[in-house]
Structure 1
Amino acid sequence: MTDTQFCAKISREREDPIIGQAAYAKAWLLIEYNGPWEWGAVLDNQLPEAVKAWLSAIIYSYATTHTVALFIRHDMRPLAKIRCFVAITREAQEALYRFELSSYEELLKLDLDALRAGDPAYNTYLSPEPIYLVCTNGKHDKCCAKFGMPIYQEASRLVGEQAWHCTHMGGDQYAANLLCLPRGLYYSRVSVPEVTSIIEADGHREIYLPKARGRTCYQPAVQAAEYYLRQQTGNLHLDAFSLLATHSAETNVETVHLQATEDGTIHTLTIQHEIRELSSSQPCSCRNEAKNTRYEFRLLSYASSSAACSISP
């Protein structure tokens, strides 16, 4: 890849699908950090050593906690305090906690286990306003800055301090990426005119389907199934369906059962997962030319039945 090429442009021209590509996360730790953002900013920074060790432990415990840590900042006048958010993005547990800290060492007092469990002791920190994160970390990938900055600027114009720059959250090749919290809705290849549509949909607890990449409370195959179900039914309300069960008959095929909250109808979607090898001249990242695979989820079948029908593998 030459200096004038952008992996996001190549991916868009190649028509790589974005469905089912959102990071799977049950919680997000967001820390305001106005120092330099390096390639791996959350681990490579000037924070106190004890805080860096604490962050490292969180990052490396992802397999058991499914918690993602990011740095955030915005272009508004900085406050004397350090802003920190903890977003809970489970299907049945959605919350956004806001903290104002005098020092980064105060992060060590946060009980993330209690926050993930919804401990009422933290209820006074609950924030009623959503926030919107746009990845703009150009040191991680130049596409994040090139395509992310106009999206952040538009989001900031629309919602002010609810819009934040953030460090890498996955999907350089899908830039610009925008994450709505605490909904856990992930959008990719967002254009400036679409920012209004996404924020308005989020305010109505709806999904803006044209650029939906996935909902972070679900595993990738379920993200894809939800997308196809919304496409089939036209129902975009976030609370219209809930995950009932999944099972795999084959290595790359998963059957997903989602239930309508209004009438109990069970929607069954069979999803096929394919991994495709790409040419090394068309990488999925501007920095890593060895990364040359893409993932696709295809809908094999869809059916609906009454709640009285049983689910069988």
Structure 2
Amino acid sequence: MTRGCEHPGGSHDGAVPTRASATVGARLWLLVEYPGAWPSHLENFELPDNISELVRRALDRGIRPQLIRRPGRRTRPRQQGLRVIVAYGTGPTPWLASGVIAGPDDLDLDALVAGVVPESCILDDEPVFLVCTHAKRNACCARIGLPLARELAEILPDRVWETSHVGGDRYAANLVCLPHGIFYGSMSQAAAIAAANAYRSGEIILDRYRGRAGIPEPLQAVEHFARSHTGECSVGAVAVESSRSDGDVTEAIVRVSARSGGDVRLRVVVEPSAWQAPCGTACAETITTYRLVSLDRLTPVRYTTFALT
């Protein structure tokens, strides 16, 4: 078990920068409900055979597998089979679908990769919110995440799940908004409720925003600065049109909705910094941060909304 926090609180209050830290390798998601004991690493396949097989198939296809359970619930669900949720987080119209399957052969993960809803699932028009509570990866995630998940579930019943490791223990409590894969970190109850309500309205709050999963970190930083300088908060109204990197410097053209002033050109630079949490070594590491070097507005164009790609 990973050593976790030994203090009563204080090191996960937003002091560590969260910008441009969302998990890069996650555009497609498979969530499997499993209230039993979660192993420290899903890829070790220390789970019931049917769930291990689903995890294996997901990993083979580049799909991010997550175990989920209802906040506070540790008993097995009553329905027969496995409850699964799949999320397609790429392209202009990300989507969610869910279903109950008898076994791995009843879930067509190749369809998910192709952007098609598997036949065993039904499209869901409401978002899903994941709170990492994976104690075997880091005690902070359970200590801070568990009460947050329960509190958020009281506000949004049936839309909130506890989940296994999502990446970034130092940012506990972590909140992931699906299907877009929007990451937030160091969340308090008030911050989580505000972020969830904003996402349900199709918007992003920059406070404690880690970025969007599946996008390289420099481009997450570019998107963050474009939003902060234009005031554009719509999820689908900002997109990196083109980019190039030279060492630690990344330059990008970013599409921004015309209502917020149109496109911008940005340059950002990497600035690694050491951060030591007072809670112990498990949360101590070098953090890669980004600094805005320049931002120039381009000629406004007749765009209204753009999808993150």
TM score, norm. by length of structure 2:
0.84
Cα distance, 1:279 vs structure 2: 6.2
Aligned to 1:96: 96
1:35/1:45 contact within 8 Å kept: no
Q: Does 1:16 align with 2:16?
A: yes
Distance 1:282 1:135, change over 3 A: closer
Q: Does 1:226 align with 2:223?
A: yes
Aligned to 1:45: 46
Aligned to 2:167: 170
Moved more, 259-268 or 31-40: 259-268
Deviations 1:80-102 (A, max 9, x none): 14210111111424010101123
Superposition CA RMSD, Å? 2.9
SS, match of residue 152 in structure 1: helix
Letter in 2 for 1:208: I
Cα distance, 1:182 vs structure 2: 0.8
Distance 1:285 1:8, change over 3 A: farther
CA separation in 2, counterparts of 1:148 and 1:125?
29
Unmatched tracts of structure 2, length 5 or more = 302-309
Cα distance, 1:137 vs structure 2: 1.1
Moved more, 73-82 or 293-302: 73-82
Q: Does 1:198 align with 2:195?
A: yes
CA separation in 2, counterparts of 1:173 and 1:7?
15
2:89/2:181 contact within 8 Å kept: yes
Distance 1:258 1:4, change over 3 A: closer
Aligned to 1:311: none
The count of residues paired between Structure 1 and Structure 2 equals 294
Q: Which has the higher helix share?
A: 1
Aligned to 2:156: 159
CA separation in 2, counterparts of 1:187 and 1:223?
13
1:136/1:145 contact within 8 Å kept: yes
CA separation in 2, counterparts of 1:149 and 1:189?
13
2:106/2:120 contact within 8 Å kept: no
Distance 1:6 1:269, change over 3 A: farther
Letter in 1 for 2:69: R
CA separation in 2, counterparts of 1:71 and 1:173?
20
Cα distance, 1:51 vs structure 2: 4.8
Pick from 254, 259, 262: which aligns with 1:258? Answer: 254
TM score, norm. by length of structure 1:
0.83
CA separation in 1, counterparts of 2:160 and 2:186?
17
Distance 1:2 1:138, change over 3 A: closer
For 1:57-76, list aligned pairs within 5 A.
Answer: 57-59=57-59, 61=60, 66-74=62-70, 75=72
SS, match of residue 160 in structure 1: coil
Cα distance, 1:284 vs structure 2: 6.3
Distance 1:165 1:281, change over 3 A: closer
SS, match of residue 210 in structure 1: coil
For 1:125-136, list aligned pairs within 5 A.
Answer: 125-136=122-133
Deviations 1:208-241 (A, max 9, x none): 1111110114221111111111111111011212
2:5/2:279 contact within 8 Å kept: no
1:270/1:302 contact within 8 Å kept: yes
Letter in 2 for 1:37: W
CA separation in 1, counterparts of 2:16 and 2:277?
15
Aligned to 2:307: none
For 1:26-41, list aligned pairs within 5 A.
Answer: 26-41=27-42
Moved more, 208-217 or 261-270: 261-270
2:97/2:117 contact within 8 Å kept: no
Letter in 1 for 2:286: T
Cα distance, 1:39 vs structure 2: 1.4
Distance 1:202 1:272, change over 3 A: same
Among all aligned residue pairs of Structure 1 and Structure 2, give the percentage whose two residues are the same amino acid: 27
Q: Does 1:295 align with 2:288?
A: yes
Pick from 93, 111, 120: which aligns with 2:108? Answer: 111
Distance 1:214 1:283, change over 3 A: farther
Unmatched tracts of structure 1, length 5 or more = 309-313
Distance 1:261 1:217, change over 3 A: farther
Cα distance, 1:197 vs structure 2: 0.9
CA separation in 2, counterparts of 1:152 and 1:132?
9
CA separation in 1, counterparts of 2:5 and 2:160?
29
